C-alpha cells in the first residue's frame, strides 16, 4: 500500500494493536505510523470480559439449552463475590475490569511486565501483584483468568498446555485481547477433558475461524465475533482522535501516539 502511495505523510491505525502491521518495513521507508490509545476500547473490553464471567458462572449456555427444551429451574450457578480474578496484563482494559470486578466483591490479582506500583496495588485493591515470573504461582489461586496482553513474540501462547495444567478445574479463561495469546489446541483439549471449567472467547488465532473449529462446539465455551471493542463510544472516540491527529499534521506538529 505504501508503494502505491509514496507521498503518504502519516499512516494512522484506527485500532490499538500493531501485530498485523509490518512496522519494520514502514520504519525503513521513514513514514510515521500512529495507532489509537487503548483507553478508547478499554471500557468495552472490560464489560465484555465481565459479561463472559457472569455468563460462565451462571452456566448461561446450559441454561439456554434447558430453556428451549422446557427444563426449568436449573442449572444452579455461582456468584462472583469472593472469587479471585487474575489479570494478565495491567493496562487500561485490565484496570477497567479490576474496578468492575471489585464492584461485584471479587478479589483481584494482576501480573504485568511493567512493575505494578504500590500505589496502583492499593488503589485497585489487588490481593497480589507481580511480574511474568509470578504467573504460574498466581494461576493456582485464580477462579477467572482474563487476558489483557499485546501480542508479541514473548506473549504468543502465554497460556499454553503447561499453564493450563495449573488452572483449578473450576477456573475459567477469558480472552478479549488476541487469539494467539492462547494455544487453542491445548485449550480445546483441557476444556473437553474437564481440566478447566470453561472459557469466554472474543478473539481467535484465525478470524473468522473455520466452521469446523472445535472450540466453538464445546458446551463450556461462550464465543463472540471480536466485538469487545466495538462500541459506539469507542468508535466515536477513535474517530475524534484520528481527526485531531490529522489537524496536528496539517499544523506541522508531531502526531500523537506514534508507534
The answer to whether residues 19 and 144 belong to one domain is: no
- The CATH number of whichever domain residue 179 belongs to comes to 3.40.50.720
Closest residue by Cα to residue 125 from 102, 94, 104, 96 = 102
The answer to whether residues 137 and 190 belong to one domain is: yes
The answer to whether residues 84 and 50 belong to one domain is: yes
pLDDT band at 18 (very low <50, low <70, confident <90, very high): confident
Q: b vs e for 120-153, b when ≥16 Cβ sit within 10 Å of the residue's Cβ?
A: bbeebebebbbeeeebeebbeebbbbbbbbbbee
Q: Is the pLDDT of residue 27 over 90?
A: no
Cβ atoms of 204 and 176 closer than 8 Å: no
The answer to whether residues 65 and 134 belong to one domain is: yes
Q: What is the pTM of this model?
A: 0.93
Residues spanned by the domain of 25: 11-39+232-250
Q: Is the pLDDT of residue 211 over 90?
A: no
In a domain, 46, yes or no: yes
pLDDT band at 201 (very low <50, low <70, confident <90, very high): very high
In a domain, 77, yes or no: yes
SS3 158: coil
The answer to whether residues 15 and 80 belong to one domain is: no
Instruction: Determine the straight-line distance between the first and last CA of the chain, rounded to whole angstroms.
Output: 18
The answer to whether residues 119 and 106 belong to one domain is: yes
The answer to whether residues 117 and 58 belong to one domain is: yes
Predicted local confidence at residue 98, as pLDDT:
98
Q: Is the pLDDT of residue 2 over 90?
A: no
The answer to whether residues 73 and 110 belong to one domain is: yes
The residues annotated as belonging to the active site are 178, 207, 226
Q: Is 15 exposed, middle or buried (0-12, 13-18, 19+ CB in 10 A)?
A: middle
> Total structural domains in the chain?
2
pLDDT band at 200 (very low <50, low <70, confident <90, very high): very high
Predicted local confidence at residue 95, as pLDDT:
98
Mean pLDDT of the chain: 95
In a domain, 4, yes or no: no
pLDDT tens, residue by residue, 46-70: 999 999 999 999 999 999 999 999 9
The alpha-carbon radius of gyration of the chain (Å, integer) is 20
Span 143-163, average pLDDT = 96
Predicted local confidence at residue 197, as pLDDT:
98
Span 88-109, average pLDDT = 98
The answer to whether residues 49 and 125 belong to one domain is: yes
In a domain, 182, yes or no: yes
Question: Distance (Å, rounded) from C-alpha 84 to C-alpha 87?
Answer: 10
pLDDT band at 26 (very low <50, low <70, confident <90, very high): confident
The answer to whether residues 85 and 112 belong to one domain is: yes
The answer to whether residues 114 and 239 belong to one domain is: no
The answer to whether residues 15 and 58 belong to one domain is: no
pLDDT tens, residue by residue, 155-183: 999 999 999 999 999 999 999 999 999 99
Amino acid at each position: 500500500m505504501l508503494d502505491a502511495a509514496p507521498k503518504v505523510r502519516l499512516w494512522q491505525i484506527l485500532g490499538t494493536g500493531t501485530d498485523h502491521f509490518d512496522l519494520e518495513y514502514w520504519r525503513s521507508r521513514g513514514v510515521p505510523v500512529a495507532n489509537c490509545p487503548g483507553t478508547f476500547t478499554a471500557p468495552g473490553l472490560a464489560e465484555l470480559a465481565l459479561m463472559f464471567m457472569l455468563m460462565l458462572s451462571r452456566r448461561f449456555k446450559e441454561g439456554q439449552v434447558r430453556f428451549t427444551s422446557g427444563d426449568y429451574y436449573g442449572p444452579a450457578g455461582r456468584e462472583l463475590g469472593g472469587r479471585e480474578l487474575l489479570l494478565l496484563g495491567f493496562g487500561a482494559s485490565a484496570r477497567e475490569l479490576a474496578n468492575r470486578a471489585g464492584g461485584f466483591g471479587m478479589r483481584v490479582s494482576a501480573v504485568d511486565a511493567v512493575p505494578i506500583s504500590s500505589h496502583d496495588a492499593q488503589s485497585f485493591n489487588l490481593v497480589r501483584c507481580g511480574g511474568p515470573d509470578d504467573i504460574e504461582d498466581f494461576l493456582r489461586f485464580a477462579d477467572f483468568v482474563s487476558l489483557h496482553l499485546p501480542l508479541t513474540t514473548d506473549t504468543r501462547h502465554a497460556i499454553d498446555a503447561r499453564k493450563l495444567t495449573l488452572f483449578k478445574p473450576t477456573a475459567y479463561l477469558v480472552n478479549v485481547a488476541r487469539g494467539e495469546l492462547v494455544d487453542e489446541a491445548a485449550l480445546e483439549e483441557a476444556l473437553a477433558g474437564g481440566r478447566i471449567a470453561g472459557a469466554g472467547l472474543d478473539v481467535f488465532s484465525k478470524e473468522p475461524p473455520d466452521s469446523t473449529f472445535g472450540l466453538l462446539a464445546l458446551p463450556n465455551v461462550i464465543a463472540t465475533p471480536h466485538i469487545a471493542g466495538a462500541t459506539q463510544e469507542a468508535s466515536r472516540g477513535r474517530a475524534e482522535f484520528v481527526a485531531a491527529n490529522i489537524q496536528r499534521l496539517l499544523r506541522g506538529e508531531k502526531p500523537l501516539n506514534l508507534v
